[in-house]
Structure 1
Amino acid sequence: MSATCKNCGTAVEIDITTTLTPLHKHPQPLTSDDPLIPYVKAQIDDLTAQNSNLVAENDSLSSKLVESTEGRMDLDQQLTITQMELQTAQREIKSLQESQKHYEQLLAMISSGQLIEKKDVQPVIENLAYESQRRSQIESSKLKLESELEDLSK
């Protein structure tokens, strides 16, 4: 942007991207009726408005960052809880699968005759115990009789 210096009448180039002051140096200070004063005031007003907008945007972004961080912490906590629940469920599933495999093996053994259910074997066991006791008594009686026979034959 260019303007005319009121003090010396020289065309002054103003670089608005880097500075608000003209590139032309005055030997005397600017006066209140210098044409650059309104431009500088307008630039100050624009920058003040931009600053206010940036402060408001910064506050808004800071609030959003805090909310996002809190949300992230909540999600991390929920993730940890969910992972623990998943691990517990996986252990339970593994245990149930092992139990199922064991029972399937038992059923296969029962079906093939390698294994007999206790309710089917219990009467046989009781009968065997009775027969063992009876045999023991008979053998004891036999030994006693043989002993008596020996004593009589002497």
Structure 2
Amino acid sequence: MLNIRKVSESTADHYLQALRTVSEMLVGERLVGTDIYEIQDLADLLNAADKITTSQAFVELNTRGHQMYSAGLNHYLSFAKGDLFDTISEQPELIDIPVDPSDSTESTGIGYRRSGIIRDQALSLAGYRCEIDRSHESFVAEASHKPYMEGHHILSMKLQ
């Protein structure tokens, strides 16, 4: 946010605190279990945001807070949607941090739910192109109508 939106560190801290408060409200309304970051799908995130921003408690708090709470939430939604990824001129640094796997589901094997938000951001940052070979042919995703390549076509799921 500091580099892309060009806001001060103090403003970014205010937005983050506002988002924490919104997250607590989502828990209070039973829209999430622990926090806003557990929402793995963009459509679910937008739905939760719509529900909380129309609640009377949020409207009152947001009015008293001079729209800081809606601003913090809107910045997070913008990030989750990847709205400003095309404005990044330099190559992004690798985000190589451990991500705790979600609860496993059992069928004929064991699988883990992946974050749709992180997936969509990674695709957008890659320009919807294969990062190994930019000329590699991919298919067009039905949902976004963008060229798309699943990572396991390049690197097996076992190695990801």
Quick check: TM above 0.5? no
Larger Rg: 1
TM range (shorter): under 0.3
Query: TM-score w.r.t. structure 1 length?
Result: 0.25
* Structure with more of its chain in helix, by fraction: 1
Query: TM-score w.r.t. structure 2 length?
Result: 0.25
